[in-house]
Copies of this chain bind each other. A is one copy, B any other.
Amino acid sequence: MLEAPPADSRARARTLLMGLQDSICSGLEALDGEGRFAQESWERPEGGGGRSRVMKEGRIFEQGGVNFSEVEGDQLPPSILSQRPEAAGQRWFATGTSMVLHPRNPYVPTVHLNFRYFEAGPVWWFGGGADLTPYYPFLEDAQHFHRTLKGACDSVNPAYYPVFKPWCDEYFFLKHRGETRGVGGIFYDYQDPEGVLYKGQDSQGLAAAVSGATGAISQSWEQLFALASACGHGFLPSYVPIVEKRHPTAYGERERQFQLYRRGRYVEFNLVFDRGTIFGLQTNGRTESILMSLPPLVRWEYGYSAEPGSREALLTELFTRPQNWLDDPGLVERCQPHQAVG
């Protein structure tokens, strides 16, 4: 029997996640300088609702969305019940904040964040993560992003990052392309005090990468709440310095076209594989809010492959494969000939 959550668990999760939406939107508006988030509040006939915030045509962000939602229902969809059979027949509650940013400048990476909390009868769990998808390869950006998220994880428990980092590589994997979505970050799901951090739910593809990191640690509701808070509030410091560094870089049609092409992979992942998208569509979610993650303009090109030795090839060959960004000294040399910009 799972330890019961605090009596005010839903209110605390809501406050955390709405506050996260607020602070992220404020930070991004300050960063963009011109773009503003427009909010739409909505209600779901089956229970609950949310507030969707979208920035269009900002100075830095071509489009960005930050959604908060809090929804309830009578029966979780099969994809979740297969992981939590104890939730069958139970009324469920879920609240989450999710964000996807599509910058204009191809040197600025796309980024995604999601933190969520579920209760369903006797069970409850936290999930979350953040991952970075660059269009052009900069080792120091990948390292900064990972270092910051690792710091947030470590502040709660140093056992987290070594598990959540490979889990992210595994989850954001496009099987039909043999590629990760980008340089990853952290990802976790179904976290509760039963303590098994990683149960191999996402065991296709990259499961081997997490062998040796599948142990269990003790964790309470409070620790998991603290983890969501630390990582959620760690997002702006993980991303804003990268934007400030890359946004001033001039780019041309080649870089823009490559960005539009790579955005196609983002669409493929979100529509074919993403658990949040599928959950939203399965539970009669608000379609416009769910698909706000799709880029404003996207290109597909049959048979494209990057010129050997180019920065585009480095992106594909090294930055869409799992790497030990913080611990592999060989990465510097492998990136060296490609780092020049312009």
A-to-B contact residues, CB < 8 Å: 40, 54, 56, 63, 65, 175-177, 260, 264, 267-268, 271-272, 281, 287-288, 290-292, 294-303
Contacts and interface: CB of A to CB of B under 8 A. Distances in A.
A314 to B, nearest CB: 21
Contact of A264 (B260, B290, B294): B294
A113 B292 CA distance: 30
Most buried by B among A290, A294, A296: A294
A176 B286 CA distance: 9
22 contacts: A56-B302, A63-B302, A65-B302, A175-B281, A176-B281, A176-B290, A177-B287, A264-B294, A267-B271, A271-B271, A271-B272, A272-B272, A272-B281, A288-B303, A291-B300, A296-B299, A296-B300, A296-B301, A297-B297, A297-B298, A297-B299, A298-B298
A98 to B, nearest CB: 14
Nearest to A285: B176
A295 B300 CA distance: 6
Contacts of A301: 296
Contacts of A300: 291, 294-296, 298
Given A296-B299, A297-B299, A298-B299, 11 more contacts: A176-B281, A176-B287, A176-B290, A260-B297, A272-B281, A288-B302, A291-B300, A295-B300, A296-B301, A297-B297, A298-B300
A291 B299 CA distance: 12
Contacts of A54: 302-303
Contacts of A177: 287
Nearest to A175: B281
A175 B280 CA distance: 12
B40 A303 contact: yes
Most buried by B among A63, A281, A301: A301
Contacts of A290: 176
A78 to B, nearest CB: 14
A153 B220 CA distance: 65
A280 to B, nearest CB: 9
A296 B264 CA distance: 10
A290 to B, nearest CB: 8
A293 to B, nearest CB: 9
A179 to B, nearest CB: 11
A174 to B, nearest CB: 9
Nearest to A294: B300
Contacts of A297: 260, 297-299
A63 B299 CA distance: 12
Contacts of A63: 302
Most buried by B among A40, A260, A281, A303: A303
Contacts of A56: 302
